[in-house]
Amino acid sequence: MSMTQLLDATIRQIAVPGKGILAADESGQTIAKRFATIQVESTENNRRIYREMLFTAPQLSDYVNGVILYEETLGQKASNGSTLANVLEKQGIIPGIKVDKGLVDLVGTDREKVTQGLDGLSDRLVTYKEMGARFAKWRAVFDITDVKPSCLAMETNAHNLARYAAICQAHGIVPIVEPEVLMDGDHTIERCAEVTEKVLHTVFRHLYLNKVSLEHIILKPSMVISGSTCKQQASSEQVARETVRVLLRTVPAAVPTINFLSGGQSAEFATENLHWMNKLHPNLPWLLSFSYGRALQAPSLDAWHGKDSQLVQGQEALLKRARLNAAACVGEYNSTME
C-alpha cells in the first residue's frame, strides 16, 4: 500500500458518523495525578490493569473507533499475553499514539508554552508503526489573557504542529492536530472565540505552508467556551453556536473530521455541547465528534477505584459515556439518557 492509501484507509475507518476517539494517552505524570484522586498508586501494573479494563469493555467499538495510547501502553501486554494494541485491533478499534514530548516554557514569552518532540520523531514513528499505531497525536496549548497568546507562541506552536503533521503523513500515519485553547481564566466566551479563531487561522496557514494533506488529518480543537472562572457561564447552545461559527470561518471543508477534546469540562457538559453542535447544524462539511480523555474516563476511574472486584463497573461507566457521546455525534443525545 502507498502512504496515501494507508492514510485513506485509516481516515475511512475513523471518520464514521456516530463514532469517536478515546484519549487514553495520559503521560506518567498525568495518570499519577488521576490515580491520586482515587488513592491508587501509579505503578506500571496498575496502569496496565486500568487501561486493559478500558480497552476490553464489551462492544466499545460500537461507539469508539480509535484509542490514543501513551508510549508505555503501546508496548504493554494484556493478561492474555497479547499486546494492548492487539487487544484494541481485535475489538475493531485502531490504536494511535501520543508522540509529542510535552510542554516547556517558550523563551521570549511570559511563560507561554511550546510543545517539544520533533527531534527524532521520524525514527520513533517507524517503531510505533511496527508496534501497530496508525495515527498519532501532538498537543499544543494556548493560554488566554488580555495579552496572550502572543504572536510568537501562536506562530511557533502552529509551525511545530504542521512539521509534526507533515512527518506523520510521510510515514502513512494520520496526524491528530490538537491546538488546545485552555479554559483556565475569567475570560468571556467572546474572548475565547476571538483567540480560537486566530489560533486556527495560524494553524491552517502553517499546515498549508508545510504541504500537509488536509484530507488526511483529524483536527482536535477545544470548544469555544467561557473561561472556567468567568462569572457568566455560556450555555451549551451558546457554546455550540460559537464553536461552529468559529470553525466555519477557519477550517477548510477538505478536513474530514473534527474530534473535540474535553479540556476539563464535566462529562455531561462535554456531551451536551457536542450534541447541540450536531443538532443545530446537521449539514456541516466535516463530522463533529469526540476525542475525550477526562470526559470519557473520569466516571470510569471513579467506578473502578483500583479494585479488581469493580472492573465491570468501571467498564460500564466508560460504555455509558461512550454511548451518550456517540448519540451526541448525531444530535440524538438527551439528558434523560443520563
What is the amino acid identity at position 262? S
Number of residues forming the site for ligand 13P (CB under 6 A):
10
Q: What is the DSSP string of 38-60?
A: TT----HHHHHHHHHHHHTSTTG
Catalytic residue among 220, 242, 272, 320: 220
Contact 67, 89 (CB under 8 A): no
Residue with the closest Cβ to ligand 13P?
Answer: 293
Q: How far is the CB of 24 from ligand 13P (least distance, A)?
A: 9
Q: Which string of x and - marks every residue 283-302 that binds ligand 13P (by CB under 6 A)?
A: ---------xxxx-------
Q: How far is the CB of 102 from ligand 13P (least distance, A)?
A: 11
C-alpha cell at 292: 475525550
- Is there a catalytic annotation at residue 215? no
C-alpha cell at 57: 469493555
How far CA 269 is from CA of 80, 99, 312, in Å, comes to 37, 28, 25
**Which of the stretches 118-126, 127-135, 259-267, 275-283 binds ligand 13P when contact is defined by CB under 6 A?**
259-267
Q: Does 69 bind ligand 13P (CB under 6 A)?
A: no
255 versus 296: smaller Cβ distance to ligand 13P: 296
Q: d(Cα 223, Cα 273) in Å, to the nearest integer?
A: 9
Q: d(Cα 228, Cα 248) in Å, to the nearest integer?
A: 24
262, 271, 273, 315: residue in contact with ligand 13P (rule CB under 6 A): 262
Q: How far is the CB of 194 from ligand 13P (least distance, A)?
A: 21
Q: How far is the CB of 81 from ligand 13P (least distance, A)?
A: 28
Contact 68, 138 (CB under 8 A): no
256 secondary structure, DSSP code? -
Q: d(Cα 78, Cα 52) in Å, to the nearest integer?
A: 6
Q: How far is the CB of 98 from ligand 13P (least distance, A)?
A: 8
282 secondary structure, DSSP code? T
Cell 456541516 belongs to residue:
284
> What SS3 state is found at 157?
helix
8 versus 302: smaller Cβ distance to ligand 13P: 302
Q: d(Cα 2, Cα 21) in Å, to the nearest integer?
A: 25
Residues 157-186 that bind ligand 13P (CB under 6 A): 178
Contact 261, 190 (CB under 8 A): no
Residues 200-239 that bind ligand 13P (CB under 6 A): none
Q: How far is the CB of 297 from ligand 13P (least distance, A)?
A: 8
**Which of the stretches 58-66, 144-152, 261-269, 314-322 binds ligand 13P when contact is defined by CB under 6 A?**
261-269
- Is there a catalytic annotation at residue 178? yes
Query: What is the end-to-end Cα distance of the chain in Å, rounded?
Result: 44
Q: d(Cα 294, Cα 263) in Å, to the nearest integer?
A: 8
23, 85, 223, 225: residue in contact with ligand 13P (rule CB under 6 A): 23
6, 93, 246, 261: residue in contact with ligand 13P (rule CB under 6 A): 261
Catalytic residue among 26, 178, 242, 272: 178
Residues 135-154 that bind ligand 13P (CB under 6 A): 139
Strands 113-115 and 103-105 turn out to be antiparallel
263, 289, 315, 324: residue in contact with ligand 13P (rule CB under 6 A): 263
146 versus 263: smaller Cβ distance to ligand 13P: 263
36 versus 126: smaller Cβ distance to ligand 13P: 36
Q: d(Cα 75, Cα 127) in Å, to the nearest integer?
A: 11
Q: How far is the CB of 5 from ligand 13P (least distance, A)?
A: 27
Active site residues: 178, 220
Residues in touch with ligand 13P (CB under 6 A): 23, 139, 178, 261-263, 292-295
